[in-house]
Amino acid sequence: MTRLHFLIEGIVQGVGFRPFVHRQAARLGLSGWARNTAAGLELELEGPKAALDDFQNILRTAPPPLAVIEKVQVQPVPPTGERGFSILPSREGAAATLVSPDLAPCPACLAEMNDPQGRRYRYPFINCTDCGPRFSIIRRLPYDRPATTMAGFAMCPDCEAEYTDITSRRYHAQPNCCPVCGPRAIYLDAEGHPLPGDPIALAQQALAAGQIVAVKGTGGIHLACRADDPDAVARLRRRKHRPEKPLALMARDLEAAGRFCRLSEAEAALLQSPRRPILLLSKRDPAGQGWLSATTRLGVMLPYTPLHILLLDGQAGGPDLAVMTSANRPGCPVLIDNEEALAVLHGVADGFLLHDRPIANRCDDSLAMVWRGAPVFFRRSRGYAPQPLLLDRDATGVLALGAEQKGSFAAGRGRHAFVSQYIGDLKNAETLDHYRTALHSTLDLFGLVPQTLVCDLHPDYASTRLAEELARQRGLPLRQVQHHWAHMAACMADNRLTGPVFGLVWDGTGLGEDGTIWGGECLMGDFRTCRRVGSLRPVALPGGDVCAVQIGRTALALATDAGCADLAPDFPRREGVAALLHSGYRYPRSSGMGRLFDGVYALLTGRVTAGYDGQAPALLEALAEGAAPAALYTPAFYEDAGVRFFDTRPLIRALCTGKAAGTDPAALAAGFQQALCAMALDQCRALNPDKLPVVLSGGVFLNRALLDGVTARLEGAGYRVYTHKRVSPSDEGLALGQLAIGAAGLDS
């Protein structure tokens, strides 16, 4: 007889691992015990060596479906003659294990929920060890029911029997519940008064009638209405003060999603995966469904909780395709509390489908597109967070605070990078509060103790001020990292590269080392050093940050710089701004690619304001889609102080004169995007003759045409090109790069 002691690390709690071990022990005739610890899972097994070998093989090849095993330590210990197997109480200690994301219902739970003879028939909180809420309900580790928001729901005798039955898939399932003992849904009218009847049916009837319903999910509350009812959507837009920004949809199934969109096999597979992100899908009619999105794509997800599945099943005449957008104040985090939702959404929602299970961790929907068969994240959140990313080096003690727009943080423990869920723009006070709460919750939950802080170079970012505050309070060293270097490092860490690399980093704005605003950069370096070797010709920003909204100002600045100011569109106070531009007034100057897109869109369409961040680049991409380029514009360059600049003036003149001559704006937009792809290749050939690996980062690479075009041209020229896979190329993923730079500094 042999006895082995196991320590297993990874996502091994809340995924049915202890029941899995118990079943395997019973099947193989092994005795012993298992328990959760703060570091993961600990167990001892005793029996014939052949049976123990079989167990270790199963552990490697067929672990529980939701488990992620990262490390297994096995040590022989003296046999005890123990008989039988037991699951011991969890052992408290310094948190060092991982937590599973919230995941969609498994097939077994769906079948049970639809069984009229079952005791969980149409129960909206059904779950088991293979599916259901995890991150959104956990308060602390180890992962046991008292440490979750299920603590207030005592299991009934039937659920308790399942919980202790080794043959049940709910054996030691911490959120186990049923209609007798678990959370309950409730439907309230616009004034917050509960209505009698089936809450799901009442919500379905309200949606069918064109009403707006607030729906509480796992990580937050949504506002829902019929997606095929333009009048209902228009009311939702008015009440939510969201006149133009695209709205996410939830479809009952692939067939419902396919009414408006085309789906590839890879998109269909990801939509149906347990993670259930929102995916940007191509419209069947590129100009259709304008009430949902003015672009050629729609964001679609499938239901990811039993409650959502029931809501869209059509039993009470409800829709099979609904708008499902975050319920929040403008610019604020998604709501999670029932009472706050009733107050904030009074006059917005016509009804409320809520439940009484508290949300411990706010978590927005993830948003991605499929590119080359894999997801590219616009935001990484529900279904993915808080699962950490694996780094190529030890990052213990490093805490990176990110930037300001699309704020995020990343903390290191060993080779794990714990990257926050989607948070939002930190200029908003409520979002900054959410950021602080999520930060401290993550540090506490995973036992992360910061020893080194890293933040952006910009002194006025809220994340920078918070980093300075933490440095003072805790007496910790603080390192500030240039914005675009962090972007480049994020793509390196995402692909586990060590460098050196050549980086094309294209985004809106970021403070440069020279005190100006950068954003269309060519960089060379690694995690220790970085230098700027190429950029865009800087353009004045008349009014500074106001240009992000008043894009006509940027158009005028570009046209003035190119010598064709008379072809720029009109906007309020244009003459005064033009006079100052001609006078040499020292406006802030920017090499930002995002601002270039803003200005070019205004020049081509005459639209002089943007309704939301990133609207003009998104609309320009949509305008160009499918159009033949008007011309192939040859990039021009000049050198200044050792930096090779893309001279935008010839391109702007060509676009303006083409527009004035009546050329189709779509063809001009396509030509503009092709010119940027050609420019990227030219810069690589001139500045990267040794053909270092090329990394693409920055939010502009969420433009599919540029991602396709730049990657294809560079690969065709023999360059190895790396793009983001695990975090967003936008500022949301930037904290990962800061973390990697900070970790490299630990070695010096």
DSSP 37-74: ETTEEEEEEEE-HHHHHHHHHHHHHS--TT-EEEEEEE
Strands (E), 331-415: 351-355, 367-371, 374-379, 389-390, 398-400, 410-413
Residues sharing a CB contact under 8 Å with residue 321, sequence separation 6 or more, in sequence order:
226, 227, 228, 249, 250, 251, 252, 256, 257, 259, 260, 312
Higher-pLDDT residue of 553, 11: 553
Domain that holds residue 721: 388-533+693-748
Kindly state whether residues 501 and 586 are assigned to the same domain.
no
Kindly state whether residues 527 and 440 are assigned to the same domain.
yes
Asked whether residue 45 is assigned to any structural domain, the reply reads: yes
Query: What is the per-residue pLDDT for 252?
Result: 98
Q: What is the pLDDT of residues 166-221, one digit of tens each?
A: 889 998 899 999 999 999 999 999 999 999 999 999 999 999 999 999 999 999 99
Residue 594's CATH number: 3.30.420.40
Domain boundary at 87, 109, 126, which? Answer: 87
Asked whether residue 328 is assigned to any structural domain, the reply reads: yes
Asked whether residue 506 is assigned to any structural domain, the reply reads: yes
Q: What is the pLDDT of residues 270-295, one digit of tens each?
A: 999 999 999 999 999 999 999 999 99
* 386 preceded by a cis bond (ω within 30 of 0): yes
Contact 727, 699 (CB under 8 A): no
Weakest mean pLDDT among 88-92, 124-128, 664-668: 88-92
Query: What is the per-residue pLDDT for 714?
Result: 98
Q: What is the DSSP string of 642-710?
A: TEEEEE-HHHHHHHHHHHHTT--HHHHHHHHHHHHHHHHHHHHHHH-TT---EEEESGGGGSHHHHHHH
Q: Tokens 């937009």 appear where?
A: 669
The whole-angstrom separation of Cα 290 and Cα 655 is 27
Kindly state whether residues 13 and 64 are assigned to the same domain.
yes
C-alpha 456, offset from chain centre: 20
Using the predicted structure, report yes or no on whether residue 376 has a pLDDT greater than 90. yes
Query: What is the per-residue pLDDT for 95?
Result: 56
Kindly state whether residues 488 and 567 are assigned to the same domain.
no
Give the whole-number percent of the chain exceeding pLDDT 90. Answer: 87
Residue 283's CATH number: 3.90.870.30
Phi, psi of 590 (to 5 degrees): -135, 140
The whole-angstrom separation of Cα 456 and Cα 410 is 13
Kindly state whether residues 542 and 526 are assigned to the same domain.
no
Contact 527, 516 (CB under 8 A): no
Give the whole-number percent of the chain exceeding pLDDT 70. Answer: 99
Q: Pick the closest to residue 412 from 390, 397, 431, 425 (CA basis).
A: 397
Kindly state whether residues 507 and 477 are assigned to the same domain.
yes
The whole-angstrom separation of Cα 6 and Cα 360 is 31
Domain boundary at 38, 62, 87, which? Answer: 87
Query: Residue 343: pLDDT band by 50, 70, 90 thresholds?
Result: very high
Kindly state whether residues 606 and 547 are assigned to the same domain.
yes
Kindly state whether residues 465 and 544 are assigned to the same domain.
no
Asked whether residue 179 is assigned to any structural domain, the reply reads: no
Q: Tokens 């590839």 appear where?
A: 264
Query: What is the per-residue pLDDT for 37?
Result: 84
Q: How do strand 2-11 and strand 721-722 relate by DSSP bridges?
A: unpaired
Q: What is the pLDDT of residues 25-52, one digit of tens each?
A: 999 999 999 998 877 899 999 999 999 9
Query: What is the per-residue pLDDT for 18?
Result: 87
C-alpha 113, offset from chain centre: 30
Kindly state whether residues 436 and 470 are assigned to the same domain.
yes
Tally the C-alpha atoms within 13 A of residue 471's C-alpha that lie toward its C-beta. 17
Residue 48's CATH number: 3.30.70.100
Q: What is the pLDDT of residues 468-491, one digit of tens each?
A: 999 999 999 999 999 999 999 999
Using the predicted structure, report yes or no on whether residue 334 has a pLDDT greater than 60. yes
Kindly state whether residues 548 and 491 are assigned to the same domain.
no
Strands (E), 236-392: 249-251, 261-262, 278-283, 297-301, 321-326, 351-355, 367-371, 374-379, 389-390
Asked whether residue 380 is assigned to any structural domain, the reply reads: no
Kindly state whether residues 556 and 578 are assigned to the same domain.
yes
Higher-pLDDT residue of 445, 194: 194
Using the predicted structure, report yes or no on whether residue 688 has a pLDDT greater than 90. yes
Kindly state whether residues 568 and 434 are assigned to the same domain.
no
The total number of structural domains in the chain stands at 4
Query: Residue 590: pLDDT band by 50, 70, 90 thresholds?
Result: very high
Query: What is the per-residue pLDDT for 392?
Result: 87
Asked whether residue 348 is assigned to any structural domain, the reply reads: yes
Query: What is the per-residue pLDDT for 92?
Result: 65
Using the predicted structure, report yes or no on whether residue 499 has a pLDDT greater than 90. no
Asked whether residue 336 is assigned to any structural domain, the reply reads: yes
Q: What is the pLDDT of residues 130-151, one digit of tens each?
A: 899 999 999 988 888 999 999 9
Task: Categorise residue 614: left if φ over 0, alpha if ψ from -120 to 50, beta otherwise.
Answer: left
- Return the number of other C-beta atoms located less than 10 Å from residue 273's C-beta: 15
Mean pLDDT of the region 115-144: 94
Q: What is the pLDDT of residues 297-309, one digit of tens each?
A: 999 999 999 999 9
C-alpha 221, offset from chain centre: 17
Query: What is the per-residue pLDDT for 748?
Result: 60
Using the predicted structure, report yes or no on whether residue 322 has a pLDDT greater than 60. yes
Domain boundary at 337, 355, 373, which? Answer: 355
Asked whether residue 121 is assigned to any structural domain, the reply reads: no
Query: What is the per-residue pLDDT for 93?
Result: 59
The whole-angstrom separation of Cα 139 and Cα 729 is 30
Using the predicted structure, report yes or no on whether residue 16 has a pLDDT greater than 90. no
